[in-house]
Chains A and B, each alone.
Chain A
Amino acid sequence: MAIVIYIALQLVVMILLAPLVNGIIKKVKALTQKRRGAPVLQMYFDLYKLLNKSSVVSQVTSWIFIATPYIIVSSALTAALLVPVTTFASPIAFPFDIIMLVYVLALGRFFMGLAALDAGGTFGGMGSSREAMISSLIEPSLLVSIFTIGLASQSTSINDIMLAMQSVSLPLLRPAFTLTFFALFIILIAETSRIPVDDPSTHLELTMVHEAMVLEYSGRQLALMELGAAIKQLVLITLIINVFLPHDQFIAYAGIGGLMLSLLVYLIKVIGFSVLIAVFEASTVKFRFFSIPNLAALSFILAFLGFLQYFVLGR
């Protein structure tokens, strides 16, 4: 019974909140550029509109093209189940589920790359090759970061890690976690196709990565692709904020009241973090594609230094 409640809670929160994050980021970015911007809820309207439209599929495509939106959404939702938004509900947790999280997300990316190639357009192929390169550059630092937090909390289960981090006072004031936090932040930026790695708002063919891959999709399928990407983004954000900025230890109530309060705090954290991402995006410029290895190297160094500092300090 508890599991059912947890699953329902996770899915509802993730699906409902994911478009909001995009909305907030877009709004803040618009405000920093002295524009009024689209309403915060714009992505909900877009998704609603797209879901009601039929999609056009190229004749040359295979079943992969049709299946990919569903695979992406389901992989994103699976990932969503692995990262608890609050530690109050009893979660699905098993050893090594953080590794599983990485590869469930990788599965979605793999199919997205395939689907982009499948349509046979020039941009799709370019986008998927770029995406493959970025993800392979990012992966070492992602794994090293995971090792660091896993070692520090003596666990490879996300829920246990979150619980362990709750007992650490002020994690961000420990060098190992500070550096890992920044490493994961760069990874988040790269994974969610944001500036400086990719520009989510561009439709300039030569620079786009993520947008190039979903270029062939339309209607309901496009909605699913967009939703999948938004959920993936929220999953990563949840992972970072709940590991490095845990809040559940401060909530004294038990039961349903504690759960509600915890969710409220979680919501505030997500909004705050979205604003942070937006500010970061607004204050940087997009890198040349061949400079991305430098960024990846920096992220790796952050993760590695974090690892080293953890070893040195032993805490």
Chain B
Amino acid sequence: MENYFDVLSALILFSSFVLVANKRIISYIRTFQLQACLIALTAGIMGMNSFLKEGKIDILVVCAIILILKVYYIPRLLRKTYAGVEYKVEKDFFLNIPILIFICCFLVLFAYFSVPTIGGTMAGNVNIQVVNSFSLVLIGFFFMISRKKAIGQIVGFLVIENGIFITAMFSTHGMPFIVDVGVFIDLITAVLIMGIMVTRINDQFETIDINQLKNLRG
């Protein structure tokens, strides 16, 4: 069983690399969708496991929510937002892609060396799943600061959230159910609001390049 999770965590991590390598907004929305699928799969396996062993359906419900929300609804929402904004095809990142990828590579190394130093239940034995999911959080942060477009930032935020979610899945086999559901409600609201804000930024600034947002200083 752990085998599946090892592989899935590695694939999820890899999908975030693909995300960093994506150039166009549409393609990273698609990659995000793929990542969400993998996470749903992880949750599904974990949920089936806990259902068969303990008869609990909590994690299966969470899996269903992920499928509806992250695989279907949020990408759709982002595509809609994207379709609504005026968008000029231009370079969306500060560094070129191979450099971005290598920086992310160092982030993974950093996670690999830092997670085992935490101590406690994680001391000594490196838990590959936690390393991978923690790297995902770091890559999410990096993705956010490396993109200039507002939608890229939303995707970065979602990747961070994905990373945190699977860290929780792998380290504690899920949070209490009500907390999980609440987190999803917050997430969907956050994405909705950010989507609306993107439209507003586009209305006001006629671009969604957040580098243009520098009126407020000091």
Report whether chain A binds chain B: yes
B13 contacts partner chain A, Cβ-Cβ < 8 Å: yes
Question: What chain A residues lie within 8 Å of B9 (beta carbons)?
Answer: 175
A282 to B15, CA, bound (A): 21
Known: A297-B98, A313-B6. Is A179-B14 also a contact (CB below 8 A)? Answer: yes
* B103, chain A: closest CB distance, angstroms: 11
Known: A170-B3, A178-B7, A297-B21. Is A312-B98 also a contact (CB below 8 A)? Answer: no
B69 contacts partner chain A, Cβ-Cβ < 8 Å: no
A305 to B132, CA, bound (A): 10
Which B residues from 1 to 34 make CB contacts under 8 A with A? Answer: 3-4, 6-7, 9-11, 13-14, 17-18, 21
Question: What chain B residues lie within 8 Å of A298 (beta carbons)?
Answer: 17-18, 21, 101
Question: What chain A residues lie within 8 Å of B101 (beta carbons)?
Answer: 294, 297-298, 301
Known: A294-B97, A297-B98. Is A305-B3 also a contact (CB below 8 A)? Answer: no
Known: A305-B108, A312-B128. Is A294-B98 also a contact (CB below 8 A)? Answer: yes
Q: Choose from B7, B17, B97, B98 the contact partner of A173 (Cβ within 8 Å).
A: B7
A124 to B153, CA, bound (A): 44
Assess the A312–B21 pair: CB atoms within 8 A.
no
B181 contacts partner chain A, Cβ-Cβ < 8 Å: no
- Tally of B interface residues using CB under 8 Å: 24
Question: What chain B residues lie within 8 Å of A247 (beta carbons)?
Answer: none
Assess the B21–A179 pair: CB atoms within 8 A.
no
B109 contacts partner chain A, Cβ-Cβ < 8 Å: yes
Question: What chain B residues lie within 8 Å of A294 (beta carbons)?
Answer: 21, 97-98, 101
Assess the B10–A309 pair: CB atoms within 8 A.
yes
Q: Which one of A175, A178, A308 has the greatest number of beta carbons of chain B within 10 Å?
A: A175
Q: Which one of A170, A173, A179, A309 has the greatest number of beta carbons of chain B within 10 Å?
A: A309
A293 contacts partner chain B, Cβ-Cβ < 8 Å: yes
Complex A-B: 28 CB contacts under 8 Å? A172-B7, A173-B3, A173-B4, A174-B3, A175-B7, A175-B128, A178-B7, A179-B10, A294-B21, A294-B97, A294-B98, A296-B98, A297-B21, A297-B98, A297-B102, A298-B101, A301-B17, A301-B104, A302-B14, A305-B10, A305-B14, A305-B105, A306-B10, A308-B108, A309-B6, A309-B10, A312-B128, A313-B6
Q: A175-B10, A294-B97 are in contact. List 4 more A-B contacts (CB 8 A).
A: A293-B97, A294-B101, A302-B14, A312-B128
